[in-house]
Structure 1
């Protein structure tokens, strides 16, 4: 056999492989389908670069942040649409028959349903943000829960639709899982308790994200998020605490962020050698400072007073009770500091001094001097 016959046999083999290809389709058809798919992938890149980027720039120019969130949320599923189209037109190159045609139809319908529910799932969060701006009767936590519930619903409905496409009936499947669901429900009682408790906490508007709360014996800190089962509270040492919602619903909860005013309540002890005139002058000066300072709530608005209160063991006590207008902790500390310094000045200006714990010891007599009594102060 000469080399020309060998080359002819080799070429015949190449033509045979080209014509037979794989799965009953020639290589030319397979390459054509692959080329169509790659063409849509190239279109996907151009669409992202020019159309979606332009939409994003347009959204950034507006003052409304919702459109930015919508564009960002829709970007991934929209970029998937050319993939779906590429698979659809690539499969159409093959002239399927029988089971192959049915399988191709199932794949195409599955991809379309998946994309549609992906879009709905992505829109749930920005639509929740839009509801927060328009619905004054709903709190941000309520809307966040609604958005989460919608996303879960879209996932479940989309999965059910895809199963139905592939001939798997969801109704009998759910019925078959009934006993298993009962077992899971019995084992997940705490989960449902916390879910219901979370609904009560949000419905009663006990707290909002950013509130400073205290639950005795549980946690004190700032609320960061309210979940289906737990609420995340960040303590002041920055450690996160995940509190079961039943703890928030069943325990006494103090929400410091909703204080109208912030209280200052002091007992000021003065020495016993302070005269009555000095006590009156100090009392009136402190009261005048509070009444004329805009940082404090006026007596006509809430209980505010400075009174000579009692004779204590080692001091004469003045009772100070007032409220600051600010409820911010740092600002309250600053106002309280200024009040403390002012009281110090007033006491010193009136020639008085602050008392400290002390005791007096009386000695009736000393050895060798029975007629004298001595008093010693300790």
Structure 2
């Protein structure tokens, strides 16, 4: 019996030893207290989100400027993450590590602070840039997006370098190695850099923007959806996407139909040759009067407008109708053109004339002999 009691005493001493030296020389009780401290800050994060951020939301809604709205959205997630960093900091401070673990805990806390700071800066780049109206007037939306992407990339790289420096990793040798690697890559990626430069020239020259209808002869025709670093995403009218390298768009002639001030209608209206002089004059004058009275058409001197007897064709007298619509939208332009076609038909029919049909006249000087006439000539 005494042996059993001694064994239990030894087992109890073993439990106490495990409890006291549970992890890295810290008792399990201290670890539980550290976890409890971390849990307190986790709960405080929820309280902060529920009350403090809601107060901030109400305050921001009362202001007229949008800049504070953007900044609030930028710092919301980093502030919530900061409570996680605070909980980790106080938990490690309570455990009071020594030696290598102390340095590890300090570097980990620094890393969490760096992440929170650069996270807020990263989130603030786009809303702040969008809030600056001067940038919108000086730069196109596409260039602004490129600058935002570049700034975000730079922030991530700086944050990564700062974290590496915190852990004692020298960044300079890495940068030097990347420089040599970049030279090797540049030699094999000349097309990539050509497309990158082509994209920059497109944005600087403002050849086209997102939503524009463009045409590059032999390359693509459609609506621009995205201008990327390497290629431009164009949606054809059959809804098929085309990814065109920027080099093709910068080196070739690009027709930007969306930049049209007006949209042209050019017709030859053919009437019959039996149309009289008075009917021709009436048709011409009525068509011109309609074009000048309708609000859908641009008027001189903004755009030319002609209705003239143009030529005597093979089977018709041709009347030239040359004008421009105010709208450049394809669907609206079709509606205006359809209304003009109906009106011209009414004018021609109202004048008692008709539209000419393509025809040819054949003149025969002599007719071939009939079979009986051929037989009579043979007898003679």
TM-score normalised over the length of structure 2: 0.90
Aligned match of 1:184 = 185
Aligned match of 2:217 = 216
Deviation at 1:236, TM superposition (A): 2.4
Residue 156 of structure 1 pairs with residue 160 of structure 2 = no
Residue 96 of structure 1 pairs with residue 97 of structure 2 = yes
Q: Structure 1 pair 267/367, CA: closer, same or farther in 2 (3 Å)?
A: same
Q: In structure 1, list runs of 5 or more residues that go unmatched.
A: 370-378
Aligned match of 2:28 = 27
User: What aligned pairs does 1:1-378 form with structure 2 within 5 A after superposition?
Assistant: 1=1, 8-56=9-57, 59=60, 66-132=67-133, 135-366=136-367
Deviation at 1:299, TM superposition (A): 2.7
- CA offsets per residue over residues 216-235 of structure 1, 9 Å max, x none? 22222222222222222222
Contact 1:291 1:299 (C-alpha < 8 Å) held by counterparts = no
Q: In structure 2, list runs of 5 or more residues that go unmatched.
A: 371-380
Quick one: distance in 2 between partners of 1:61 and 1:338? 51
Contact 2:268 2:318 (C-alpha < 8 Å) held by counterparts = yes
Deviation at 1:147, TM superposition (A): 0.8
Contact 2:129 2:135 (C-alpha < 8 Å) held by counterparts = no
Q: Aligned with 1:208: secondary structure?
A: coil
Quick one: distance in 2 between partners of 1:65 and 1:240? 35
Deviates more, 1:342-351 or 1:117-126: 117-126
Q: Structure 1 pair 368/272, CA: closer, same or farther in 2 (3 Å)?
A: same
- CA offsets per residue over residues 95-149 of structure 1, 9 Å max, x none? 2222221111111111111221111111111122113566422221221111111
Quick one: distance in 2 between partners of 1:54 and 1:226? 40
Contact 2:225 2:234 (C-alpha < 8 Å) held by counterparts = yes
Q: Aligned with 1:223: secondary structure?
A: strand
Aligned pair count?
369
Quick one: distance in 1 between partners of 2:178 and 2:95? 40
Deviation at 1:69, TM superposition (A): 4.0
Quick one: distance in 2 between partners of 1:166 and 1:359? 92
Deviation at 1:362, TM superposition (A): 2.6
Q: Structure 1 pair 367/187, CA: closer, same or farther in 2 (3 Å)?
A: closer
Quick one: distance in 2 between partners of 1:22 and 1:102? 17
**CA-atom RMSD, angstroms?**
2.2
Contact 1:212 1:256 (C-alpha < 8 Å) held by counterparts = yes
TM-score normalised over the length of structure 1: 0.90
Quick one: distance in 2 between partners of 1:234 and 1:59? 40
Contact 1:128 1:146 (C-alpha < 8 Å) held by counterparts = no
Q: Structure 1 pair 58/364, CA: closer, same or farther in 2 (3 Å)?
A: farther
Deviates more, 1:20-29 or 1:10-19: 10-19
Contact 2:224 2:234 (C-alpha < 8 Å) held by counterparts = yes
Deviation at 1:17, TM superposition (A): 1.7
Deviation at 1:82, TM superposition (A): 0.8
Contact 2:66 2:131 (C-alpha < 8 Å) held by counterparts = no
Contact 1:19 1:25 (C-alpha < 8 Å) held by counterparts = yes
Q: Structure 1 pair 52/348, CA: closer, same or farther in 2 (3 Å)?
A: same
Quick one: distance in 2 between partners of 1:42 and 1:271? 90
Contact 1:132 1:140 (C-alpha < 8 Å) held by counterparts = no
Deviates more, 1:223-232 or 1:121-130: 223-232
